[in-house]
Chain A
Amino acid sequence: MSRKTKQIIFFALLSQFLIYSLFVYKSIPINNVGTLSVNSQKGKLIFQKYNCIACHQLYGLGGYMGPDLTNVMNTKGKGKDYVRAFITSGTAKMPNFHIPQEEIELLVSYLEDVSKSGVSPTVDFDINKDGTVTINK
């Protein structure tokens, strides 16, 4: 392979990648799914400040000591008060961070917006022949 050929392949791939990146940035969000209110954006920073992601996941991404929190606000039997209770008292594995009340409300607001954005883990789906899946709503 000559140097020229390699350079051409490299720069062709690179330009494809840049165009692709722009498309990815542009194509999300779809129908504004996942939009965060001003309070939720603050709540997100609180979520980061206490490093909740070290033990929890959103959409399956994060540490694995605790459960996925994506739908903790809209699962039957859970919800705002349930979440507040966990945050204020902690458990054997989850520390009590002594988070001030107003920060807890911001966290609740953030988790509420996350819950509305989608479902994780996905348990109701059909498997197609090519290995892809169709998610049942």
Chain B
Amino acid sequence: MKNKFELLFTTLGLLSLIGGMFFGVIASLQFVYPGFLESIPFYKTRPLHVSLIVAWIFLSSIGGIYYYLPNYNNIKLHSRFLGILHFSIFLFTGILILICYFLGEFGGREYWEFPPILAIPIFVSWIIFGWNYFKTAFKTASNWPVYMWMWATGIFFFLFTFSEAYLWLLPQFKGNVIKELTLQWKAYGALVGSWNMLVYGTAIFLMEKIKKNSHIGRSKIAFLMYFLGLINLMFGWAHHIYNVPTAMWIRYLAYLVSMSELIILAKIIYNWKKSLTESVKDFNILPYKFLVASDIWILLNLILALLLSVPAINMYTHGTHITVAHAMGSTIGINTMILLASCLFLIDKITKIEYTSSEIKTIKYGYTFLNIFLLIFWVSLIIAGTIKGQDVINNQLSFQEIMTKINPILIVFSISGIGVFLSILAITIYPIKKSLIFLFNK
């Protein structure tokens, strides 16, 4: 096997994406058909789904960074050995986590959860990544483009917030449920912010390379947006916990910070027309298509996120499927679109194997259907959440009454979810085939 660990990261990422979606589909069917696939119940399929999806986001963004950083700066990666070590730890820990889930050993926490001991190898692997990144990055010209700042920030804040997420093991924290919950969401909010830094950095990098315009990553506006994103990563998490009894100032500050994202919204709308005419020109470039789609999904999800951050609206939407719409809408519409663009770009560059015209056709169909199904998927979750929010607060219906009412909508959600799964399968199957051929033949 050729020594191409960047491609290993990317390929394993794509496989995790497929596995993760597979469990998502099962989980959604269990929602509407209780008893479906009892051997892997919902409390296993949900963490399998979420953890494999988180693995996809990290693996594919890390694979990209390992490849882009040295190859587009004409320098050598500080240590390929450490890169391979990083991959091995990731793979090994990942397999252990999956085994734990199947055995019914959970961390029992939201999102990225596994027995706490496994956090140690993950932490070590990020130290290795950080070391390799900074050692390489400091060899380049001193004035970094914005995406190098973003990648550095993502790595740094991952380490910070990942540690923070384990403060609950300390006696000062675990003795109080409010303190513990608040900190967990402070940490997870920023953890998501940290992977967004890796992903958005990748998007700007790709834009620059596809457009062959190195000004994109160095403009003043790019840096202003970066700092605004950073402020949100640091201080904007508290909209998750408006209804947890914490200090008022934490909530007011978060509300204020969230609203600063209106500036980003304004910028996107302002640039819309210009970028639209430009995008028509390059729309046949595959990775570029995905970047354009991510732009549209940024707009939709930003509007939703801004609404959810208004406390008066949050009271209704919190604890409903609107939260799931927000989570999946952005991880699929934004993160996955960008990372698919990156995978297509990177696999092309490394393997140099061309797609046949029917393969390209399949990918393009996958792309169109992905966007259509995702829209249905997202809207159905929003509708289900709106009904629940109103029924809980205005009509004070019981849980069972509400679930019966939204069941038909959740069926639409499930079916469109299968559509999302099949579309992404159509997009990824040939790139995966290409990289497997490359990895095992050369």
Contacts and interface: CB of A to CB of B under 8 A. Distances in A.
Nearest to A118: B245
Interface string B41-64: 111001100000000000000000
Given A30-B246, A55-B43, A131-B255, A35 B175 contact: yes
A74 to B, nearest CB: 15
A33 B393 contact: no
Given A20-B234, A41-B175, A49-B108, A57 B319 contact: yes
Interface residues of A, number: 62
Contacts of B230: 10, 13
Contacts of B244: 59, 118, 120
A6 B108 contact: no
B319 A60 contact: yes
Interface residues of B, number: 64
Contacts of B178: 28-29, 33-34, 117-118
Name the prevailing secondary structure of the B interface residues. helix
Contacts of B246: 27-28, 30
Nearest to B153: A10
A23 to B, nearest CB: 9
Contacts of B108: 47-53
B1 interface: no
Nearest to A124: B393
B332 to A, nearest CB: 17
A24 B174 contact: no
A92 to B, nearest CB: 5
B176 A3 contact: no
Nearest to A63: B46
Contact of B182 (A16, A28, A41): A28
Given A28-B246, A121-B319, A121-B392, A41 B174 contact: yes
Contact of B240 (A9, A53, A61): A61
Contact of B250 (A24, A55, A67): A24
B177 A44 contact: yes
21 contacts: A1-B220, A24-B183, A28-B178, A28-B179, A28-B247, A30-B246, A32-B176, A35-B176, A41-B174, A50-B106, A50-B108, A51-B43, A52-B43, A53-B110, A54-B42, A59-B181, A95-B43, A120-B243, A121-B319, A121-B392, A133-B315
